[in-house]
Each structure stands twice: as structure tokens, then as C-alpha cells.
Amino acid sequence: MNKIVLASKSDARRSILEQIGFKVIVCYPKVSEIQINHGSLKDVINIAKENSFNKAMYAKKCYSYPVISADTLIFQKSKIFGKSRNKEEAKNMLISLRGTFHRVVTGYTILYKNDKITGYDITEVYMRNYSEEEINYYLKTNEWIGKAGSYAIQGIGAFLVKRINGCYYNVVGLPLSKLIEDLKILGLWPP
């Protein structure tokens, strides 16, 4: 069986799963995500895992195939950044992230038959000390829409990033290495 349900609106997550050989059925989960603006790293991990679990449970009601879901959040000191709601909020996020490092936390869930695995990964991202002109350029691309932290490392937003420590795919939205290990446990890898 190589069909898998992705409980996410993310084109990047779909592309990652297709890249490794799955036929992806996309399900747009209609669930309210837990959102807070401040907390600890433990809070961020728990929220990302719970959001991913809720998305997966929604998709499991609609499909009998294995389900994968994920939720990505940005953690910097005690601030938690999800997706920005508008251009002004996106600009403020990019200003906060500029010249510093933050952690990208992705919680994920795999549901298959009666089995459930929920995990997470953390990647440190170091941002360039980019200018306001560069921020304004990036905002005009609209790539920031729907992205945690208001940037996409896999797209134009790559120019904002100086370096990373950890899984690149986690920053894109799906911690591939950990995900594959868990898919193996459930007998779903290789597809």
C-alpha cells in the first residue's frame, strides 16, 4: 500500500511525501488549532503534538488509509510564532527573528488501523541580519502567507536564513528522518 492521507493544507508537506514515493490524498482538517503567544519549549512541543493529533483524528474519520498530520511552530525565547494573520504581523515576526536564532518545532502524528504514533522534532535556525528593504521585498512575494514564522526556507525565504542545526525538512514542515523511522515501526516504510 502506498497511498497515504495527509491531514494538512501544506503543499510543502505533500511534496515531501510524494518525493519519497507515496501517493498522497490531501484532507483539509477542519479543526481549531491551539494557539498561544508565550510559553516554554515544553508548551510549544505539547501544542504542536496536540494540534497534529487533532488534525489526524479528523482525517481518520474520512479515510481508511494511513494518516499523517503535522503542526509547525516557531519558538524564540518565550515567544511562540505560528502563522501570521496579515502583512503587518508578518513584518513584525521577521523583524523579531532577524539576526537571531529560533527553534522550529514540528509535531506530527501517524494513525494506521488502531496504531498511533505522535512525535516531534526541533531544528535551530539562524537568521541573517537582513535589512528592512529585504523584509519589504519578501513580504511583496506573499510567500509568507500560511507559514509559521512568516517565511519558507524551501522558497524565496531561503535568503533570510544564515544556517540551520538539525533537520532541514523539519523547517519545511515534516521531520522526514523521524517520520520514516516511525513509518517503519508501523510497517508503512518503504511504501
**What value does the mean pLDDT take over residues 144-148?**
93
98 sits in the region (left: phi over 0; alpha: psi -120 to 50; else beta) called beta
Three-state SS sequence of 105-143: EEEEEEEECCEEEEEEEEEEEEECCCCHHHHHHHHHHCC
Higher-confidence position of 63 and 171? 171
Sign of dihedral through CA atoms 34, 38, 43, 44?
positive
Which residues on neighbouring strands pair with residue 173, listed in sequence order?
Answer: none
**Grid cell at residue 108:** 506530527
Residue with cell 490524498: 25
Active-site residue set:
71
What's the pLDDT at 79? 92
What's the pLDDT at 82? 87
Burial of 61 (0-12, 13-18, 19+ CB in 10 A): exposed
Query: What is the residue extent of each domain of the chain?
Result: 3-185
Banded model confidence at residue 1, pLDDT cuts 50, 70, 90: low
What's the pLDDT at 62? 85
Burial of 97 (0-12, 13-18, 19+ CB in 10 A): buried
In the CATH hierarchy, which top-level class contains the domain 3-185? alpha beta
What's the pLDDT at 187? 93
Distance between alpha carbon 98 and the CA centroid of its chain, in Å? Answer: 20
**Residue 55 and residue 71 in contact, taking contact as beta carbons nearer than 8 Å:** yes
pLDDT in tens, 105-139: 999 999 999 999 999 999 999 999 999 999 999 99
Burial 147-177 (b: 16+ CB within 10 A, else e): bbbbbbbbeebeebbeebebbebbbbbbbbe
